[in-house]
Structure 1
Amino acid sequence: MTGLESRPLHAPRAAPAGGPGLFVTFEGGDGAGKTTQASMLEEWLAADGRDVVRTREPGGTEVGVRIREIVLHHRGHIAARAEALLYAADRAHHVETVVQPAIARGDVVIQDRYLDSSVAYQGAGRVLDADDVRALSLWATGGLLPDLTVLLDLDPTAARRRLDAADKPFDRLEAEKSDFHARVRAGFLALALREPERFLVLDATQAPEILAARVRDAVAERLR
């Protein structure tokens, strides 16, 4: 059980961004290819003359870099609720200082991870209450939801092979056991089922160019 199947999530407390800009987020497990797809989307939009802000969570601000170091690289134990609060603190500062101003300017914001990651990782993965985790992030961000969330879905075993091939040290979340990552994947898919109008779910085993074309089509539709 991920904690998401037992009851529906509360309805969003605010509409999606809805300003002159566009807010696009990439979600999925570690190793799913979020960075690659965000980069390809950024290049396509820039070539089309769009102003793009590329960012990530945690770590999209100076404050966020410090929080990122704690939540991903702290060697000791961090209580699950404390971890969720740290991510929410990063998100509150990031949205107020980076994301909202960019949307107001009419930019396209491309972001690696947002509140859905907290619901999947801290809610499902850490077995906290999914509604509470989501409500915390909605409060932290003033209810801001993306216009489009691209979920790159990948079996955790395949994701681990990709991470192993990258030959770099694992962070705290990447190093978690397979059952944790299975809960995270289930949590993401449950979120997508509940908000199909916001989510684009893609099979991350497909070639990057095929995935990028699907993402471009979805973004172009929302820009129109």
Structure 2
Amino acid sequence: MLITFEGIDGSGKSTQISLLKEKLIQLGHQVEVFREPGGTDVSEMIRGMLLNPDLEIDPVTELLLFSSARSQLIAEKVRPLLEENVIVILDRFYDSTIAYQGYGRKSMPIEQIHQINAAATKNLVPDFTFYLRLSLDEAAERTKNFEKDRMERAGDSFYKRVFEGFEHLAKTEPRFKTINAEKDIDVIHQNIFNELEAEL
């Protein structure tokens, strides 16, 4: 099973992924978690470039770098683990590319991004995508004291477009499960597990 988590910065993905992993292990499942971009030596090197605030990266180059990191992660880690019936949880997947590089950066038409995503993943589609929905105002409040990387310095109008991208995906992708990320941490965790329980 492939489970992905999406949402704008500050939505609590890391916390909820950790709680879900712990719960699934308690139930006897094998679980592996990876972040995007990252998870392999090659992908982590690409991550370093993408988040470096000292670098200027063209929007199309940025999209292709994210896709390259993803391709390596899928080939080297994710597909082999799925074949062994390990539950794989990803902190971001290609939906983030649509939201950030498609809607946010306007790097290229969304349909072309779908094609690149399909090539990078060899048409792998998540079984569940949990969209932790958080308002832009609450996200700004939660992240106001964070040190900002290159992506996080893109500005308010950029993040407004990213949010709109996630909202569109949530309405059009049946695998998306929208979770209110402004609730209590334990409530959010239970809501996520309730969506999964019948499939475990």
What's the TM-score, normalizing by structure 2? 0.96
Structure 1 segment 102-113 matched on structure 2, within 5 A? 102-113=81-92
In the alignment, the residues of structure 2 paired with residue 130 and residue 204 of structure 1 have an alpha-carbon distance, to the nearest angstrom, of: 26
Residue 152 of structure 1: SS of its match in structure 2? strand
- Does 2:14 match 1:35? yes
CA distance in 2, matches of 1:169, 1:74: 11
Task: Give 2:172's aligned residue.
Answer: 194
Task: Give, in whole Å, the separation in 1 of the partners of 2:189 and 2:119.
Answer: 32
Q: CA deviation at 1:139?
A: 0.8
The one-letter code sitting in structure 1 at the alignment partner of 2:153 is: A
Corresponding position of 1:3: none
d(CA) in 2 for partners of 1:92 and 1:74? Answer: 24
Preserved contact between residue 49 and residue 55 of structure 2 (Cα < 8 Å): no
Read off the aligned partner of 1:172 and give its amino acid letter: R
Distance in structure 2 (CA, Å) of the matches to 1:221 and 1:183:
34
Aligned to 1:137: 117
Secondary structure at 1:31 match in 2: coil
Per the TM alignment, residue 76 of structure 1 is displaced from its structure 2 partner at its CA by 2.4
> Equivalent of 2:142, from 157, 162, 177?
162
Count of residue pairs brought into register by the alignment:
199
1:107 positional shift: 0.7
**Structure 2: which amino acid aligns with 1:101?**
P
Alignment of 1:118 onto 2:93: no
Deviations for 1:43-87, whole angstroms, at most 9, x for unmatched residues? 000111110001111011111110001111151210000000000
Instruction: Name the counterpart of 1:19.
Output: none
CA RMSD of aligned residues (A): 1.0
**Inter-partner Cα distance in structure 1 for 2:32 and 2:196:** 15
Instruction: Give 1:222 deviation, angstroms.
Output: 2.3
- Which structure has the highest helix share of the two? 2
CA contact (8 A) 1:118 1:134 kept: no
Q: Which residue of 1 aligns with 2:31?
A: 52
Contact 2:36–2:93 under 8 Å retained in 1: yes
2: distance between equivalents of 1:218 and 1:101?
25
**TM-score, normalising length: structure 1:** 0.86
Equivalent residue in structure 1 for 2:131, among 142, 151, 173: 151
SS in 2 for 1:174: helix
Identity over the aligned pairs, expressed in percent?
36
Task: Give unmatched runs, 5+ long, in structure 2.
Answer: none
Cα deviation 1:178-218 (Å, max 9, x = unaligned)? 1111110110110111112x010011111111111111111
5+ residue gaps, structure 1, are 1-21
Residue pairs, 1:203-222, within 5 angstroms: 203-222=180-199
